[in-house]
Amino acid sequence: MEIPPDMEAKMTSLTPFESSRWTIETRIAGSPDDVAMVMAVRACAFLAEEDNITYADEFGTNDFVGTHILALVDGDPAGVIRIRWFGEFAMLERIGVRKRYRNFRVFKALGRAAMDLIAQKGYRVVVGRARGETRKLWARLVNAVPSGPEFQIDRGTLTPMITRILPPRDSLTDLAFGDPRVEHVICEDEGAWNFSALQAARARVA
């Protein structure tokens, strides 16, 4: 999650009263229009605000193999976060919020949506990388802590971060494959799984 190092400081540009009136929603980018909004937000938050970043730095192959979560404020695309999936862990990265909506409520909504999805999939380990002093923001968003020493890249200093979670009862774990209810659930839209059907299938096995 390579948040620009000055982004946390910029979150105070709006008063609590102004941001409290917002209606914030999050969803998985599940259509070409959603993906276009994701890329537009990242272009605003990164390419337009950082002088030491190129297009190739921000966009690449990983955009086509990860899950993007989009935050909207009163229906307007405001923030994004990307999740990539590995065998035993998930990785949070590319979190960005447009300047006009840069408030902790939006960051928190993105972090919560990402962690909920990761937990529902049964992952227990979540990693990422904090730029500069954004380690504090990582801790506030997902209870992450440094997992190793800082290291340098062209765009600054990165700190590897990690957090561990326990999958909730409603998660895609301990599945009774072959049960028609399970086979139906795992073909449902991402993030829209019918967990009550999975619980019924588990109860039958037990």
For 134-183, how does the pLDDT look when each residue is reduced to its tens digit (9 = 90+)? 888 899 999 999 999 989 887 778 999 999 998 888 899 888 888 888 89
Is residue 134 within 8 A of residue 3, CB to CB? The reply is yes
**pLDDT tens digits along 25-73:** 999 999 999 999 999 999 999 888 887 788 988 999 999 999 999 999 9
Which residues, in sequence order, are CB contacts of 54 under 8 Å at separation 6+? none
What is the model's pLDDT at position 115? 96
Task: Give burial (CB, 10 Å; 0-12/13-18/19+) of 55.
Answer: exposed
Beta strands per DSSP E along 74-191? 76-85, 90-97, 125-131, 145-146, 151-153, 156-164
**Per-residue pLDDT tens over the stretch 2-12:** 555 555 555 54
Q: How confident is the model at residue 203 (pLDDT cuts 50, 70, 90)?
A: low
The DSSP call for residue 141 is: H
Calpha distance 187→183 (Å, rounded): 7
Which ranges in the chain are annotated with CATH 3.40.630.30? 7-164
Into which CATH architecture does domain 7-164 fall?
Answer: 3-Layer(aba) Sandwich (3.40)
Token couple for 106? 């939006």
pLDDT of residue 177: 87
Nearest to 122 by CA among 90, 159, 154, 75: 90
Q: Is the dihedral of CA 116, 119, 124, 127 positive or negative?
A: negative
Task: State the pTM of this model.
Answer: 0.87
Question: Does the pLDDT at position 201 exceed 80?
Answer: no
Q: What pLDDT does 11 receive?
A: 53
How far apart, in Å, are the Cα atoms of 124 and each of 91, 95, 130, 165?
A: 11, 20, 20, 5
- Residue 80: φ, ψ to 5°: -145, 160
